Amino acid sequence: MVEEHKEEHGEHHHHPAPGMSGVHKLLVGLAIIQIVLLLFVAFKVSGSGATTQQAGANAPSAAAPSAGNAPSVNMQALADDDAFLGEEDAPVTIVEFSDFECPFCGRFHTSTWPELKQKYIDTGKVKFVYRDFPLSFHPQAQKAAEAAECAGEQGKYWEMHELLFTPGVQGGVASFKQYASQIGLNTAKFNTCLDSGQMASEVQKDFSDGQRAGIQGTPGFFINGQLVSGAQPFAVFQQVIDAALAN
Across residues 97-102, what is the average pLDDT? 98
* 67 within a domain of the structure (yes/no): no
Confidence of residue 202 (pLDDT cuts 50, 70, 90): very high
Residues 175 and 90 in one domain: yes
What pLDDT score was predicted for residue 115? 97
- Judge whether 70 lies within some domain: no
pLDDT at 205 exceeding the cut of 70: yes
User: DSSP string covering 31-43, please?
Assistant: HHHHHHHHHHHHH
Q: What is the pTM of this model?
A: 0.72
Distance of CA 8 to the CA centre of its chain: 53
pLDDT of residue 73: 84
28 plus 93 within the same structural domain: no
Domain with 20 in it: 2-57
* Residue 86, Cβ density class (10 Å: 0-12 exposed, 13-18 middle, ≥19 buried): buried
Question: In whole angstroms, what is the distance from residue 41 CA to residue 201 CA?
Answer: 52
pLDDT bin (cut points 50, 70, 90) of residue 24 is: low
- Same domain? For 45 and 84 the reply is no
- What is the domain count for the chain? 2
Q: What is the mean pLDDT of residues 133-162?
A: 98
